[in-house]
């Protein structure tokens, strides 16, 4: 037989066909004559019902055990496909008394499940989440490909701190002897390997900009790293970011159109392809009315005005100097109809050096954040400053490490713009999951780097 996995069986198996299948027992009912079990191999949220004779081979059969089963495909009384097993082999037993943390038919909290990162792929919800994550990765690549973007692998190890927020992790070889053998006069040991300090990237944007100055429409989708001492439900030390950069982009409106189209298109594809997996994780029922609405656009100054005139809503009032915190973001989203919201034209002095000055107001930059219900910021983006002199004037401390970046503006310079989507934050939004640690296979956060 050439049936591969359980998804395959539901799609392709014929009644009467003899097949072999391997997986984990999800639930089990032993009767005198017969045993009923539900089998999963992770290929789909669906479980394959299996009926087998209750004999000696069933002794080690428990929920969680891994099995190898052969049998004949039948239709069950409720019209579902099921397997009448003729042979059973238990590969690996699974005994709660030995410390297996998941008892049959029990619901566990996310906090509980998170304690077992190596075992949580066995739980229905986490498996659903990881399938959704996989489908979302593919949907993003497919969509950008269909829009003519070139995928560029930007580096993980880099000599710049793109965001300039001092949140980089340093990269140095562990081997001190090696470093001593490489160090040159005047260099510190940590610079010896690359002849410069090196970091884990916080964003591939700057390298992506160089690619856009030659390939026009580019993106990168990989891990990024931030050393923030934040243990909030929205921050990770290692997270995935989708970043796109587009040449010949002259205004923020065009960038917003690109972002809105991407989010709606990818989300529709996913609701089409894996709605049940998405729904399996709804701690908060997600609402997709935004798929048919245009995202509102609010300027920073308008947002401050809204917050000021609603200051009673906040425990300690609101003063414009406070800027826009998470609480304020969430308020603004609710205020604007509880759909994704573009917050644009940010004060220059709180944003990174690469953002383009607003020609109408030199205290502002042509930047945007996309805020979504329940989460707040999931995207940051901007037009890029392509006037070298302006960059040098407003950021005189810019290091010679970034000479190459300024040189992009010297030869064949073009207006560009782009954005970064926090992939895990998008998954929270899509699936209605509360905590970012539950939408990434192996979360890292302060005090946590197990496995
Ligand atoms: O707003 P950020 O810092 O923007 C950039 O890095 C730009 N260079 C992107 C670009 O224009 N190419 O980060 C982008 C997004 C945020 O909106 C947020 O969704 C996510 O990355 N993000 C995090 N996600 C999880 N954990 C963290 N610690 C995050 N920090 C940022
Ligand atoms: Mg940001």
Please spell the DSSP secondary structure of 334-391, one letter per residue: HHTTSS-EEEEEEEGGGS-TTBPEETTEEEEEEEEEEEETTTEEEEEEEEB---HHHH
In angstroms and rounded to an integer, the radius of gyration of the C-alpha atoms of the chain is 26
SS3 state of residue 271: helix
22's enclosing H/E stretch is strand 18-30
**Ligand 2 centroid to 190 CA: how many Å?**
29
| Residue among 278, 276, 328 at smallest CA distance from 304 | 328
**Ligand 1 centroid to 380 CA: how many Å?**
6
| Residue among 157, 179, 181 at smallest CA distance from 170 | 157
Residues 268/435, Cβ–Cβ less than 8 Å: no
pLDDT value for 108? 92
How far from the centroid of its chain's Cα atoms is residue 274's Cα?
Answer: 16
Asked whether 122 lines ligand 1 (CB < 6 A), one says no
pLDDT value for 343? 98
Among the bound ligands, the one closest to the CA of 350: 2
Residues composing the chain: 451
**Ligand 1 centroid to 188 CA: how many Å?**
31
pLDDT value for 400? 82
**Ligand 2 centroid to 259 CA: how many Å?**
15
pLDDT value for 394? 85
Q: How far apart are alpha carbons 101 and 104 in whole angstroms?
A: 10
Angle in degrees, 0-180, between the axes of helices 423-431 and 252-273, rounded to the nearest 10 = 50
Asked whether 422 lines ligand 1 (CB < 6 A), one says yes
SS3 state of residue 421: strand
- Other beta carbons less than 10 A from residue 312's beta carbon: 8
Q: How far apart are alpha carbons 238 and 223 in whole angstroms?
A: 7
Residue 391 tokens read as 């960059």
Q: Is the pTM of this model over 0.95?
A: yes
264's enclosing H/E stretch is helix 252-273
**Ligand 2 centroid to 13 CA: how many Å?**
49
Residues 269/139, Cβ–Cβ less than 8 Å: yes
pLDDT value for 399? 76
Q: Distances from the Cα of 67 to the Cαs of 39, 41, 119, 196, 289, in angstroms?
A: 9, 10, 17, 53, 43
Asked whether 209 lines ligand 1 (CB < 6 A), one says no
Q: Which atom of ligand 1 is nearest to the CA of 377?
A: 17
Q: Which domains does the chain have, with CATH numbers?
A: 6-106 (2.40.50.140), 122-167+202-296+337-438 (3.30.930.10)
The ipTM of this complex is 0.99
Q: Which atom of ligand 1 is nearest to the CA of 237?
A: 28
Asked whether 203 lines ligand 1 (CB < 6 A), one says yes
Test site for ligand 1: of 380, 382, 417, 443, most ligand atoms within 8 A of the Cβ: 380
**Ligand 1 centroid to 381 CA: how many Å?**
9
Residues 267/430, Cβ–Cβ less than 8 Å: yes
pLDDT value for 2? 63
Residue 48 tokens read as 């394959």
pLDDT value for 190? 94
| Residue among 343, 147, 340 at smallest CA distance from 244 | 147
Asked whether 420 lines ligand 1 (CB < 6 A), one says yes
| Residue among 374, 437, 446 at smallest CA distance from 115 | 437
CA dihedral 273, 274, 276, 280 (to 10 degrees): -160
Q: List average pLDDT for each run of 10 residues in the chain, which is 451 residues long.
A: 84 94 96 96 97 93 96 92 96 95 90 95 95 98 98 97 94 96 93 96 98 98 97 97 98 98 98 92 82 98 98 94 96 97 97 96 98 98 94 84 92 97 98 96 95 91
């Amino acid at each position: 037989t050439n049936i591969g996995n359980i998804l395959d069986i539901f799609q392709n198996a014929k009644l009467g066909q003899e097949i072999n299948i391997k997986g984990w027992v999800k639930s089990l009912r032993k009767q005198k004559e017969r045993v009923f079990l539900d089998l999963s191999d992770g290929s789909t949220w669906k479980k394959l019902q299996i009926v087998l004779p209750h004999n000696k081979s069933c002794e080690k059969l428990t929920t969680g055990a891994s099995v190898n089963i052969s049998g004949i495909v039948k239709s069950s009384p409720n019209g579902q496909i099921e397997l009448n097993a003729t042979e059973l082999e238990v590969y690996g037993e699974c005994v709660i008394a030995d410390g297996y943390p998941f008892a049959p038919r029990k619901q566990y909290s996310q906090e509980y499940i998170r304690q077992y990162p190596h075992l949580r792929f066995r739980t229905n919800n986490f498996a659903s989440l990881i399938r959704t994550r996989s489908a979302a990765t593919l949907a993003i690549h497919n969509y950008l490909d269909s829009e003519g973007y070139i995928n560029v692998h930007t580096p993980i190890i880099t000599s710049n701190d793109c965001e300039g927020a001092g949140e980089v992790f340093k990269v140095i070889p562990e081997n001190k002897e090696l470093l001593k053998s490489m160090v040159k006069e005047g260099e510190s040991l940590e610079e010896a390997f690359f002849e410069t300090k090196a970091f884990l990237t916080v964003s591939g944007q700057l390298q992506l900009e160089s690619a856009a100055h030659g390939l026009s429409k580019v993106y990168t989708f990989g891990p990024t790293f931030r050393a923030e001492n934040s243990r909030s439900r929205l921050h990770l030390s290692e997270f995935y970011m989708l970043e796109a950069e587009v040449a010949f982009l002259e205004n923020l409106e065009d960038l917003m159109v690109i972002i809105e189209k991407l989010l709606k298109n990818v989300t529709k594809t996913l609701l089409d392809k894996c709605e049940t997996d998405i729904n399996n994780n709804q701690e908060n029922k997600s609402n997709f009315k935004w798929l048919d609405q245009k995202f509102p656009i609010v300027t920073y100054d308008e947002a401050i005005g809204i917050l000021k005139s609603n200051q009673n809503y906040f425990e300690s009032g609101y003063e414009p100097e406070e800027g826009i915190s998470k609480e304020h973001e969430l308020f603004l989203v609710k205020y604007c109809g509880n759909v994704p919201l573009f917050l644009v034209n940010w004060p220059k002095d709180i944003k990174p050096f690469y953002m383009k000055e607003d020609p109408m107001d030199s205290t502002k930059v042509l930047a945007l954040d996309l805020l979504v219900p329940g989460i707040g910021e999931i995207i940051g983006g901007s037009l890029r400053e392509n006037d070298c002199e302006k960059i040098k004037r407003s950021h005189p401390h810019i290091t010679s490490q970034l000479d190459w970046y300024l040189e992009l503006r010297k030869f064949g310079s073009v207006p560009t713009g782009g954005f970064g989507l926090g992939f895990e934050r998008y998954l929270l939004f899509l699936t209605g999951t509360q905590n970012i640690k539950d939408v990434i296979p192996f979360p890292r956060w302060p005090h946590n780097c197990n496995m």
